Structure 1
Amino acid sequence: MRDFLQKVDTLRWDDHRYYHQCRINQTLHLISAISFLCAYALLFVDPAAAAMVGWLVGMVTRQSGHIFFEPRGYDSVNQATDAHKEAIKVGYNMRRKAILIGVWLALPAVLAWRRDLFGLIHPDAGLAGYAHDVGLLWLALGVTGLLLRTLHLFVLRSPAWGLAWAFKIITDPIHNVQIYWRSPVALLRGERLDPMQAPRH
């Protein structure tokens, strides 16, 4: 168990120091984390609505922070090039994220074109039914993306690393609230980049 938790801690620290230096990105991750916690609660009541919250609020704010605000040049804090960081990224690097986002955006269009999804589902009627079906498809996409990358890491690294990454992803909302709740205050004080002088989280 100690070795497993050390792997999770390593993944979290590398993710934080390499990809969360901007206080705007950290603040957006805080918003994202809160929305994902709401989505987790919604899963027990309305899974389709949970997926809507997770993708439309959680993922949009989270990925916007990475795409628009996070430095992408040479990382002087970690003495690493962006290409190096992308190559060693354990989870979804920018290329993999682009593919995932492309599928996410394409699913509503495919469902509008073929409401029965080529005979795979029995579509609900009306606009509300369409939104419900889109939510369920997005939920399936999220679960599939998590499982495929976990299994991929089983092969690339080991089952232990794959499970550690999956655990990190599932618990990221809690962890992000713990480490980024001060980020909005730091941003308001004019601190654009995290000095990264704190000890490992």
Structure 2
Amino acid sequence: MIKNFMTALRIQRWDDHRYYHHSRINQSLHFVSAMSFLVGYVMMFFDPLAAALVGWLVSMTTRQAGHFFFEPKGYDQVNQATHKYKEEIKVGYNLRRKVVLMTIWALSPLVLYLDPTLFGMFKPWVSSADFMRQVAKIWLVVGVGGLLFRTVHLFFIRDVETGLVWMTKILTDPFSDFKLYYKAPLALLRGELIDPGLEKHGELVA
């Protein structure tokens, strides 16, 4: 059972890499995201709210900017797949779902600003520091909620194992992304915009 789980995890990781990380800019931003997420993981032990701020303001923004603005959206010659097809088979959050998640994240401080009690759940903030701490609480809930929501959703539309594998992948992505993409910034400085390794692998598979 553990062997099957680890095999499924490797498949999800490889599919994520080969389908959605062609751009060296995207890879480089994922490397930055991975480093900041690792810092956030350490901070969770002594200041979870500060970790939430780092996670959303640095880790998630760099990570998602790579997907939204730099990853090619045309026909994927390496994998012989259209962008639409890849969006449909995406196990986790595709771009449409990410728009919803990031919109909730971006609008939550505005809601708190307009209603300092957040519908009676918070004691009204009185300083900018109080405001940021309360925003961090909301973002922590949004992050954990987004992870659990998609995990449980996968239980129903796929199966329990797929959901648990995806959750494990997401939680360990900072470690695997660091290992996968630490060379990406140097490749980008050499003028390499697309990872040639994916094309070479595609040729071998073909």
Q: Give me the TM-score of the superposition, normalised by structure 1.
A: 0.96
- Between the aligned partners of 1:92 and 1:109, the Cα distance in structure 2 is 24
Equivalent residues in 2 for 1:3-82, closer than 5 Å: 3-82=4-83
Aligned partner of 1:154 in structure 2 is: 155
Report if aligned partners of 1:111, 1:134 keep a CA contact under 8 Å in 2: yes
Q: Is 1:136–2:147 an aligned residue pair? A: no
Deviation at 1:123, TM superposition (A): 3.7
Partner letter of residue 42 of structure 1? Answer: M
Larger mean CA deviation between 189-198 and 34-43 belongs to: 189-198
Partner letter of residue 101 of structure 2? Answer: L
Secondary structure at the aligned position of 1:109 is classed as helix
Aligned partner of 1:91 in structure 2 is: 92
The alignment-based identity, stated in percent, is 52
Secondary structure at the aligned position of 1:192 is classed as coil
Q: Which whole-Å deviations, capped at 9, do the CAs of 1:69-110 have from their partners, x for residues lacking one?
A: 100011111110000000000000000000001100110000
Secondary structure at the aligned position of 2:39 is classed as helix
Secondary structure at the aligned position of 2:101 is classed as helix
Q: Give me the TM-score of the superposition, normalised by structure 2.
A: 0.94
- Between the aligned partners of 2:201 and 2:182, the Cα distance in structure 1 is 15
- Between the aligned partners of 1:129 and 1:67, the Cα distance in structure 2 is 32
Structure 1: any 5+ residue segments left out of the alignment?
none
- Between the aligned partners of 1:121 and 1:152, the Cα distance in structure 2 is 29
Q: Is 1:120–2:121 an aligned residue pair? A: yes
Aligned partner of 1:145 in structure 2 is: 146
- Between the aligned partners of 2:47 and 2:114, the Cα distance in structure 1 is 25
Q: Which whole-Å deviations, capped at 9, do the CAs of 1:146-196 have from their partners, x for residues lacking one?
A: 000000000111111100000000000000001101111111122110121
- Between the aligned partners of 2:22 and 2:181, the Cα distance in structure 1 is 11
Larger mean CA deviation between 4-13 and 117-126 belongs to: 117-126
Superposed CA RMSD = 1.1
- Matched residue count: 199
Report if aligned partners of 1:123, 1:133 keep a CA contact under 8 Å in 2: no
Structure 1 stretches (4+) deviating beyond 6 angstroms? none
Report if aligned partners of 1:73, 1:82 keep a CA contact under 8 Å in 2: yes
- Between the aligned partners of 1:198 and 1:179, the Cα distance in structure 2 is 15
- Between the aligned partners of 1:95 and 1:190, the Cα distance in structure 2 is 30
Aligned partner of 1:111 in structure 2 is: 112
Q: Is 1:184–2:173 an aligned residue pair? A: no
Deviation at 1:124, TM superposition (A): 4.1
Partner letter of residue 60 of structure 1? Answer: T
